[in-house]
Amino acid sequence: MIKLIAVCGSARKQGNTTKMLHQVIEGAKSAGAETEFVNLFDLNYKDCISCYACKLKNRASFGHCMLNDDLKPLLQRIEQSDVIVLGSPIYYGNLSGHMRSFTDRLLFQYLDYGAKGRGPKPKNFKTALIVTMNGNNETYVKRGIRDTMVNFSEMMSHTLGSCELLTFTNTVLFDDYSKYVYQMPDIKEKSSRVEKIPPEDLKKAFDLGFRLIKS
Ligand SMILES: Cc1cc2nc3c(=O)[nH]c(=O)nc-3n(C[C@H](O)[C@H](O)[C@H](O)COP(=O)(O)O)c2cc1C
């Protein structure tokens, strides 16, 4: 059975990123996949310490991160999966810090440094990157966030296997905007939105999950 693992880089367990990843999981399940959801905020782990053990010739550490913390069993489970979906909120124009720390560890162990065909990547995974942000599509492009995410998804394609990028802009931040200091122009629309996440966006995430398994 094809296994899809979804990794979330938002602490908000009812947040936009979590909900989108669960839609992906539902889509994948409906296509017959085995699935797993992991929230990085449930794990204790370090950043990459650039020890380069994963690049040492003729060593068991080649192609594997040698740090011994909560990411070790997760990285092992990822290696046994076929499809990897990463989800992150946009924080200051980039992935969340937790997601960056995680992807440094996940991606770098498989980086081939030009050794085409002899790199440490165990297989060609199918992958996807989902990002959610408060700003609108215009901000996504104008602030260079789209370029940053396209670059990152290309690195995922190179290091893990073909990556599809799915971006959700214009997310709702709060259940009740009246409790918070927020005076952005979109407050009226967002505070009165009945469906916090538009159904068409949920469907896009569901369809992605289905597609990743079926195609
Ligand atoms: C520290 C921090 C930085 C943020 N930076 C941005 C940003 O640069 N651009 C943006 O549009 N939204 C930004 N946001 C808003 C989140 O990206 C947005 O609310 C996202 O959908 C939250 O996802 P979640 O509900 O899964 O936590 C930021 C939020 C936080 C807490």
From 19, 22, 133, the mutation candidate for ligand 1 (largest count of ligand atoms within 8 A of CB) is: 133
To which H or E segment does residue 36 belong? strand 34-39
Indicate whether residue 16 lines ligand 1 (CB < 6 A): yes
Amino acid at 198: P
pTM of the model: 0.97
Q: Which two tokens stand for residue 114?
A: 């030009």
Residue 214 to residues 2, 32, 44, 156, 177: CA-CA distances in angstroms? 10, 9, 34, 20, 40
From 13, 91, 143, the mutation candidate for ligand 1 (largest count of ligand atoms within 8 A of CB) is: 91
Indicate whether residue 93 lines ligand 1 (CB < 6 A): yes
pLDDT at 118: 65
Q: How far is CA 83 from the centre of its chain?
A: 12
Amino acid at 85: V
Between the CA of 131 and the centroid of ligand 1 the distance, in Å, is 10
Q: Which two tokens stand for residue 126?
A: 């199918």
Q: Residue 21 in contact with residue 207, Cβ under 8 Å?
A: no
Amino acid at 56: L
Domains of the chain: 3-214 (3.40.50.360)
Between the CA of 121 and the centroid of ligand 1 the distance, in Å, is 32
Indicate whether residue 173 lines ligand 1 (CB < 6 A): yes
How far is the C-alpha of 114 from the C-alpha of 65, rounded, in Å? 19
Close Cβ partners of 66 (under 8 Å, ≥ 6 residues apart): 51, 53, 54
Three-class SS state of 195: coil
Between the CA of 87 and the centroid of ligand 1 the distance, in Å, is 12
From 92, 168, 174, the mutation candidate for ligand 1 (largest count of ligand atoms within 8 A of CB) is: 92
How far is the C-alpha of 206 from the C-alpha of 213, rounded, in Å? 11
Close Cβ partners of 114 (under 8 Å, ≥ 6 residues apart): none
pLDDT at 120: 81
Indicate whether residue 119 lines ligand 1 (CB < 6 A): no
One pLDDT digit (tens) per residue for the chain, 215 residues: 999 999 999 999 999 999 999 999 999 999 999 999 999 999 999 999 999 999 999 999 999 999 999 999 999 999 999 999 999 999 999 999 999 999 999 999 999 898 876 678 889 999 999 999 999 999 999 999 999 999 999 999 999 999 999 999 999 999 999 999 999 999 999 999 999 999 999 999 999 999 999 98
Q: Residue 48 in contact with residue 164, Cβ under 8 Å?
A: no
pLDDT at 197: 97
